[in-house]
Structure 1
Amino acid sequence: MKILLSTFQDASGTMPEIWGKSTAAYGRYYRLLYEAKPVTCAVKGTVFDALPVPAAVVLDLFCLAEFRITQGISGSTVPVLTWMSGGVSTFIRFFGDDTIGGLGEFESRAAAEATLTGVTTSEAGLKILFEGEGKLLKIPGLPAMYDYEFCPQKPATTSPVFKILAASAKFLKEAQGIIAASPYALEEVSIDAAKSFWGNLEKEMYVVGPLLAPSPAFDATVSKSHGEIEIFLDDKLRRFGGKSISFGTAFWPTAPDYVEEVIDALLEKQFPFIFAYASPAATLSDKLVAKVNSSGVGLLSKWAPQPYILSHQATGWFLSHGGNGSIVESLSNAIPLVIWPFNADQPAAAAHLTENLKVSFELIEIRTGESGLKPLYRLGRAPKGTREAVGIEIREVIDACRGPKGVELRKNAEAVQAKLSNAWKEDGIAARDLRAFLDTYSGRD
């Protein structure tokens, strides 16, 4: 039996405030579940009958506070596993030791650096993360990379990432196991290394990816923008043929003129595109918006139904930051990518998909900041750091998408799609690992 409910109703406020409400609500609801009492959806008011005491709890890697609450209520009687949704290669980097290219005791290193330099531990941690030491890393499953290559964009000066990673490391040390959403078909070498490393620490890793919606359901009546997207895709399919559309998304870069240069190039090259820019920081000039809207080639949208667009016959490429979820959705539809990496697991994914799997182009000239403008090991050169260089590169990539290299990448994407589709067959690795997890925990007293 499964139940889906919301534990709190008021989602107003900043992200930390919302996270705090979620944490507080978790404690109330987990106590009810542990005491086998009914629970009520905070939004719809639906009352769910009491269920048996949980056999196990699975919490996101970032949920140290919820982990402590769980311990406080059920002690060690209910095992807790951590859920890891991103790329496993970056999981190794952040939480493995230096024998496999990891940061090791990250918080201790930051504290020691803070004592030596007179800065706060958080400031020292951010320096380790964002600046690196110029150390060459050989993480299983990735091309050799300098440590600073994990920060291809100028970071926010108030980034909370150190505190988040330090808390996540504490949770991981105490969790009984790991459930990873990244598919084996994407990260075979990295996953094998991670299973071995954490297995030696008596933490079983279960790999249950890909995780996708059953179908790319789409209702064009939901909003005006949805209807426009459907009309746009169907029109471009008629005018330009199949696999002709480029679909792009943006966090929003620190160099917005680079986005304008990319859009200018797409218009100039008559490469039809949908560009979604949901970030609150997104700013496009009125002139550029008018140019796109009158072009007959591009469509700008604050939000777009990604699974539907990627499954449409007109879509041929995905301009993405390279987050694990987007990669899985794209390659599950045999859509190769053009990757504009920002942070987290994206830089590692961009290198891996471009150099190893050969299903993507990685944009290099869009890098910014001190670390982003340093040389890349595999290229032996640094980005130029100019809009002109961005313009030259994106035009070369567009031409390559339409040429033999694009054909090669699409063929490779189709091969990955086939492997992904096997994961949930009866003997597939995702099905096997899920059964192993259920066999281990569902039969507990």
Structure 2
Amino acid sequence: MTILAPIEDKNIFFWALPAWGHNKPLASFGIHLLEARSNVMLTVFTNTNVYPKLIDEISIISGKAKVSQEDIMRRFIVIDVCGDSPTPFFPNPAVPNAFATLWNGEPIRCLSSGKVFNKLARPVVAIIDPFQGYVIEAVRETTLPSGRIPIFSWMTATVGACLYLFGPKALGGMGSSGLMDIKSIKSFTGEDLQRMGDPHIENFTSGKVVEIPGIPTMYDYEYRPQEINIKGWPFEENGRIYIPELDGMFSVTSSAFEGEAIKTWNRWFESIGQVHYPIGPLSVPRAGLHGGDGHKEDATYGPVVEFLDRMKDKFGENSVIYISFGSVFWPIDASRVWAMAEEFLQNNTPIILAHPGLQNEADEEKLSLLRNSPIAMELKWAPQETILSHPATGWFVAHGGWNGTQEALRYRVPQIFWPFLGDQPYNSALMTRTHKAGFQLFNVRSGKVGKRTPYVFDSKEISDQPTPTFTLEALRQEVRDLLVKLKGEEGAVARRNLERLADGYLKGWDEDGEARRNTEDFLRKFVDSDLGSRITAKFK
């Protein structure tokens, strides 16, 4: 089947790192763009794993859009150009080749649907995940013979975390190591990761106090509070290289959540001639529509609701604790997970545990603890929004990833944080210390880096609980103490604070909301004005 798209439409090209958390917000933002302009189309490249999820997400959200679903599906073009890539995070030559094909107006075949898209309009803007430097280089090289289109970073994490992880050294950030060149950016492999190690490890182990305006003060090692198997420095290094080089950045956040951090980021961007557009939130309530993998009906949906209904009848509203670390993260030593779960159950607190990241056979055996309990439920995949939206759900134990945190805000479920890396430690600190809208577990930290005293204990910011010793017994006591807080006035205060924070954050797409204003500003400057054409002329 060959599909022709109107070549007069203004085409915006998207490429996000092929992980669902980086692509899910793209569906909402894309529809906002199509609602704002009838002459805009979007071309999104992805792989076989993300393709069906993204198509389903667009289809669901488009049913609530201000323009017809038919029009959205005509102008929101998603193409699987990678196939079932075994290493989706590494450079894939299919993407640069496909972009050259798009630029030249040649037919592109979607490997998932079999559809052939012919004579698509040339992109006027590219929005690319900054961790995918090889795609940025491909867009530059393909478009430079005739000019250059504006390229924006696509940042699905919070800005405050980016200040330290990707900001310049002059601001207190890490800055680029200078060890990656164009060759390694275009072709690094898993073997390269093992060989190169992590040149930034000293940034996570020196004991330096990280003090950047808008960021809760922490020691540098608190940005790696868990022992992990993920070796990701080249991905992060791509961000340090490319974020300062592009024309601007979209971030899925808002001033209501991290206003001071955004001001600090904007001052830096203004000094280097870039523009920053916060466009959060990018999610819509759709509880009960599909499962926790984000794209299809889950067979667990019925039993989950039945369980939650029973717990509500027996224990009341806000009684269930939902535990999930997302689809990627799971503690290397999960004994702390089971110790926490045991304490919840022994204290007559119902739980749901989702464990898509679980791989250890010993952990599988531990699941019998939940399977044999009348007040517990375990799931490989959980219909997360269904769980969070149910009145029985009171608390959410999570790693602090931004998509999950936004969903917690959407459904007003305060979190108990167990961060691993990236933006998670920052999100956890901001929610618990600045907004006082949740709690954080400290004795769950692991590894040589993680088992060091957190700043809040040295500074006496926390003085009502013992300094963590990171033992299982210390964790058990921490969980018992936490349960007292959850069921008392401290828990009530955290819930009220979260509700106030959510009220502000969720206004981003209101008529005069920050996200809507920023999107209009972007469209006027870079799409309506044909800035891409002017940049092209500049380089001729």
TM-score (norm 2): 0.75
Match of 2:121 among 30, 52, 73: 52
Determine the C-alpha separation between the residues in 2 that align with 1:58 and 1:9: 18
Q: Establish whether residue 314 from structure 1 lines up as the match of residue 388 from structure 2.
A: no
What one-letter code is carried by the residue in structure 1 that aligns with 2:267?
S
CA displacement at 1:144 relative to structure 2: 1.5
Instruction: Report SS of the residue matched to 1:55.
Output: strand
User: What pairs up with 1:340-355 in 2 under 5 angstroms?
Assistant: 340-355=418-433
Q: Establish whether residue 188 from structure 1 lines up as the match of residue 262 from structure 2.
A: no
Determine the C-alpha separation between the residues in 2 that align with 1:46 and 1:293: 45
CA displacement at 1:216 relative to structure 2: 2.6
Deviates more, 1:243-252 or 1:2-11: 2-11
Determine the C-alpha separation between the residues in 1 that align with 2:447 and 2:290: 41
Instruction: Report SS of the residue matched to 1:262.
Output: helix
Q: What residue is the counterpart of 2:166 in the other structure?
A: 95
Q: Establish whether residue 151 from structure 1 lines up as the match of residue 220 from structure 2.
A: no
User: What pairs up with 1:393-432 in 2 under 5 angstroms?
Assistant: 393-432=478-517
Instruction: Report SS of the residue matched to 1:212.
Output: coil
CA contact 2:204–2:449 (8 Å) conserved in 1? yes
Instruction: Report SS of the residue matched to 1:185.
Output: helix
CA displacement at 1:77 relative to structure 2: 2.0
Match of 2:95 among 3, 26, 29: 26
Give the aligned CA root-mean-square deviation in angstroms: 2.3
Residue deviations 1:197-242 (CA, integer Å, cap 9, x gap): 1121111111111110352342589343232212212222222222
Determine the C-alpha separation between the residues in 1 that align with 2:457 and 2:202: 23
Residues 325 and 222 of structure 1: CA distance in aligned 2, closer, same or farther (over 3 Å): closer
- The number of aligned residues is 428
Match of 2:209 among 136, 139, 159: 136
CA contact 2:82–2:94 (8 Å) conserved in 1? no
Q: What residue is the counterpart of 1:240 in the other structure?
A: 315
What one-letter code is carried by the residue in structure 1 that aligns with 2:413?
I
Deviates more, 1:353-362 or 1:50-59: 50-59
Gaps of 5+ in 2: 1-40, 42-74, 181-193, 459-465, 534-540
User: What pairs up with 1:338-377 in 2 under 5 angstroms?
Assistant: 338-377=416-455
What one-letter code is carried by the residue in structure 1 that aligns with 2:209?
L
What one-letter code is carried by the residue in structure 1 that aligns with 2:436?
K
Determine the C-alpha separation between the residues in 2 that align with 1:243 and 1:50: 54
Residue deviations 1:251-306 (CA, integer Å, cap 9, x gap): 21122110110110111111111111111535554653223122111111111121
Q: What residue is the counterpart of 2:49 in the other structure?
A: none
CA contact 2:225–2:449 (8 Å) conserved in 1? yes
CA contact 1:27–1:69 (8 Å) conserved in 2? yes
Q: What residue is the counterpart of 2:67 in the other structure?
A: none
Instruction: Report SS of the residue matched to 1:128.
Output: helix
Q: Establish whether residue 263 from structure 1 lines up as the match of residue 341 from structure 2.
A: yes
Instruction: Report SS of the residue matched to 2:77.
Output: coil
CA contact 2:210–2:218 (8 Å) conserved in 1? yes
Q: What residue is the counterpart of 2:191 in the other structure?
A: none
- Residue identity (%): 27
Determine the C-alpha separation between the residues in 2 that align with 1:331 and 1:129: 31
CA contact 2:244–2:272 (8 Å) conserved in 1? no
CA contact 1:423–1:431 (8 Å) conserved in 2? yes
CA contact 2:451–2:470 (8 Å) conserved in 1? yes
Q: What residue is the counterpart of 2:350 in the other structure?
A: 272
What one-letter code is carried by the residue in structure 2 that aligns with 1:142?
I
Instruction: Report SS of the residue matched to 1:23.
Output: coil
Residues 229 and 4 of structure 1: CA distance in aligned 2, closer, same or farther (over 3 Å): farther
CA contact 2:228–2:331 (8 Å) conserved in 1? no
CA displacement at 1:246 relative to structure 2: 1.1
Determine the C-alpha separation between the residues in 2 that align with 1:69 and 1:301: 41
CA contact 1:7–1:29 (8 Å) conserved in 2? no
